[in-house]
Amino acid sequence: MTAILVAAGAFLMTLIGGYVAQRTGDRRHLVLGFAAGLMLGVVAFDLLPEALHQAPGEIHGVPQALLMFAAGFLAIHVVERAVAIHRGHEGEYAAHTHGHQHVHTRAHAQPAVAEGTSAPGIGLTAALALVGHSVMDGFAIGAAFQAGTTVGTVVAVAVVAHDFADGFNTYTITRLYGNDRRRALTLLAADALAPVTGAAITLLFTIPEQLLGLYLGFFAGFLLYLATSDILPEAHSPHPSRATLLCTILGVGFMWLVIGFAG
């Protein structure tokens, strides 16, 4: 029952994260930059280390978790290419000059999904993947408390803290791809309930470590693609980059502190 109570804390933190994401107004570029930093931090400091720990076996000299990481990255890339989200045209290139008057061409960062462009399927897929990850958070809480109170407490602190980021990212990603506010709130509610569901399921059985590691590796690749290929270009395209870059660094640093203190 302790695991269920901790998962209820994760439920509240997820809702708080989604609420903050709704109240951004014209600071959207800063929110997107911070969200990308949170996602990069989760991938680098949480998902990949855990995936490698859970699935350490190798295939042709490469850890299985890293193969799934590459598969996750490529899977979302293939999906986006299939629905023609990314388009390259000559009109996306513009000339610029330096002080010595030499003319060069540069590709300006184009948002993967421009403001007002609708690609709701990608947003739903991404949000549902985050919901799936939150279910795994609940599994992690339940399994950790089965291993002992100390281990359970450490894992609970990490999960509850980063579920703020999960709620924030679920709402942001869903809206970014053209889904309406009602759908985004529905997915936020599903994401909030997910860790409670996951913790409850561990009262019945536990996921094999190998399978969990492979899932985490795949999800890490999926999340990295969204952060670097979609959210960061969208964040930087309509505004000066310095403040957005700072928010991205802060997002990464925040996740480093959270996971470091929890460990």
Taking only the tens place, the pLDDT of each residue in 164-220 is: 777 887 888 888 778 888 888 998 999 889 888 888 888 887 667 788 788 888 888
pLDDT of the residue at 174: 84
Which of 35-44, 71-80, 110-119, 139-148 shows the lowest mean pLDDT across its residues?
110-119
What SS3 class is residue 59?
strand
In degrees, rounded to 5, the angle at the alpha carbon of residue 200 between the alpha carbons of residues 39 and 216 is: 30
Helix (H) or strand (E) holding 27: none
User: Predicted confidence band at 28 (pLDDT cuts at 50, 70, 90)?
Assistant: low
Residue 248 near residue 35, CB atoms below 8 Å: no
Residue 110 has pLDDT above 70, yes or no: no
Query: Within 10 A of 200 (CB to CB), how many other CB atoms are there?
Result: 15
Would strands 58-59 and 103-107 be described as parallel, antiparallel, or unpaired? unpaired
- Name the one residue in this structure whose structure tokens are 């924030």: 168
Q: Pinpoint the alpha helices (H) of 55-119.
A: 64-82
Looking at per-residue pLDDT, the higher value among 33 and 101 belongs to 33
Looking at per-residue pLDDT, the higher value among 158 and 51 belongs to 51
User: Predicted confidence band at 121 (pLDDT cuts at 50, 70, 90)?
Assistant: confident
User: Predicted confidence band at 132 (pLDDT cuts at 50, 70, 90)?
Assistant: confident
Mean pLDDT of the chain: 75
- Considering the entire predicted model, what is its pTM? 0.60
Residue 106 has pLDDT above 80, yes or no: no
pLDDT digits (tens, 9 = 90+) for 35-89: 788 888 888 888 888 889 888 899 999 999 999 999 999 987 887 777 644 444 3
Residue 43 near residue 224, CB atoms below 8 Å: yes
pLDDT of the residue at 152: 65
pLDDT of the residue at 57: 92
What does the alpha-carbon distance between residue 102 and residue 222 come to, in Å, rounded to a whole number?
A: 40
- What is the share, in percent, of the chain residues with pLDDT greater than 70? 74
Tokens of 72: 């996750």
